[in-house]
Amino acid sequence: MKLNIVCIPGDGIGPEIVAQAKKVLDKVGEVFGHEMNYTDILMGGASIDAYGVPLTDEAIATAKAADAVLMGSIGGDTNTSPWYKLPPEKRPEAGLLGIRKALNLFANLRPAVLYPELKGACPLKEEISGKGFDLLIMRELTGGLYFGERKTVTENGMKKAIDTLTYTEEEIRRIAVKGFDIAMKRRKKVTSVDKANVLDSSRLWRAVVNEVAKDYPEVTLEHMLVDNCAMQLVRDPSQFDVVLTENMFGDILSDEASMVTGSIGMLSSASLNDTKFGLYEPSHGSAPDIAGKDLANPIATILSASMMLRYSFDLDKEADAVDAAVDRVLKEGFRTGDIYTEGCEKLGCNAMGDRIAERIVA
């Protein structure tokens, strides 16, 4: 199979971590007989320096023509970088918002996995972390409260702020379909999270999710109120497989789920549209404090590349091989500085990429 991948190395540690992901993908290509075809585009600070804007129309067109986009991270030190003296629409992050919009990426996937070898980093008690967990937050990304009409008015001398939360059946259906499709590739359980005891938008959400569920008889569906879900994520995260939720609830719950793993350098993410196309990137930022020092953990980006194989190319066996190589390297005791504990062998970014690539087997 020929895989046309656009890469956005980006800023800070971005180029270092994307190089490791490419190394692993190249090994996948070699072992499983696929042709990796990469095209690099600039975004964020790198694009500002080259073209004066964080994302050009040409870069968007190149991304649209690819099968998937693999990104490092964008942005600089927000206190010292000259990029942050520019107006907001010219800053690095505007590039990311721009590409998400241009590619209609409405589904955001954030896995939160606790590896047994890294459970020391988990802030939860041993009796909870000991069970491990592997869940995925599926967040609607382009609707709801963050995109509704908003205004501030003055009534009888008192200021009043209004935000509007709207969802159409169609917006709910397309994210629900994505959630169930992804559950079919995992442990076949969906927890749909809403606030149906209060909000009309949540009652519609629940009704549409129930309808979609009829097409997925193998998937177990449960509904959970968002306040309960926030508690359950720290009480027993192992109960979850796919957590399907709207934009604002997903924003909050995905950060909570990330935190309970305790290892930011390990967390991958994906944003998908209604085709197989997706943008894959680590959940962390560009870590300007360690950029260019061969200190970054490339695993989040490598696991994002694995998600790309699984969700954009349906190459599940190949994705499993990448996940297994990461598992093996951790079991063998190799660590980058951010996840290092005594008794392990500390590696730089490049050597970690090498070790993982070497362990890709069919």
CB 289 within 8 A of CB 136: no
- In the set 227, 289, 314, 316, the catalytic residue is 227
CB of 185 to ligand NAD, least distance (A): 24
CB of 356 to ligand NAD, least distance (A): 14
- What single-letter amino acid sits at 83? W
CB 289 within 8 A of CB 269: no
Separation of alpha carbons 35 and 318, rounded Å? 13
Closer to ligand NAD at the Cβ: 201 or 258? 258
Closer to ligand NAD at the Cβ: 253 or 287? 287
- In the set 77, 146, 181, 188, the catalytic residue is 146
Q: Please give the helix or strand (H or E) that residue 204 lies within, else none.
A: helix 200-213
- In the set 40, 181, 251, 323, the catalytic residue is 251
- Identify the bridge partners of residue 216 per DSSP, sorted by sequence position: none
CB of 347 to ligand NAD, least distance (A): 12
Is 146 known to be catalytic?
A: yes
Is 195 known to be catalytic?
A: yes
Closer to ligand NAD at the Cβ: 222 or 255? 255
- In the set 163, 236, 255, 320, the catalytic residue is 255
Instruction: For residue 99, give both structure tokens.
Output: 């590409």
Where residue 112 falls (left for φ over 0; alpha for ψ -120 to 50; beta otherwise) is beta
Closer to ligand NAD at the Cβ: 288 or 353? 288
Is 323 known to be catalytic?
A: no
Closer to ligand NAD at the Cβ: 93 or 194? 93
- In the set 131, 185, 189, 195, the catalytic residue is 195
Separation of alpha carbons 179 and 139, rounded Å? 9
Close Cβ partners of 45 (under 8 Å, ≥ 6 residues apart) = 10, 11, 54, 74, 75, 76, 81, 83, 92
Closer to ligand NAD at the Cβ: 250 or 265? 265
Is 251 known to be catalytic?
A: yes
Beta strands in the chain (DSSP E): 2-10, 35-40, 68-73, 107-114, 133-140, 150-155, 158-163, 189-194, 220-225, 242-245, 268-272, 278-282, 334-335, 345-346
CB of 7 to ligand NAD, least distance (A): 14
Interface residues toward ligand NAD, by CB under 6 A: 13, 73-76, 78, 93, 96, 264-265, 281, 284-290, 296-297, 300, 338
Is 314 known to be catalytic?
A: no
CB of 14 to ligand NAD, least distance (A): 8
CB of 359 to ligand NAD, least distance (A): 20
Q: For residue 190, give the 3-state DSSP assignment.
A: strand
DSSP 1-59: -EEEEEEEEESTTHHHHHHHHHHHHHHHHHHHT-EEEEEE---THHHHHHHSSSS-HHH
Instruction: For residue 108, give both structure tokens.
Output: 């955001």
Q: Please give the helix or strand (H or E) that residue 302 lies within, else none.
A: helix 299-311
Please identify every residue annotated as catalytic.
146, 195, 227, 251, 255
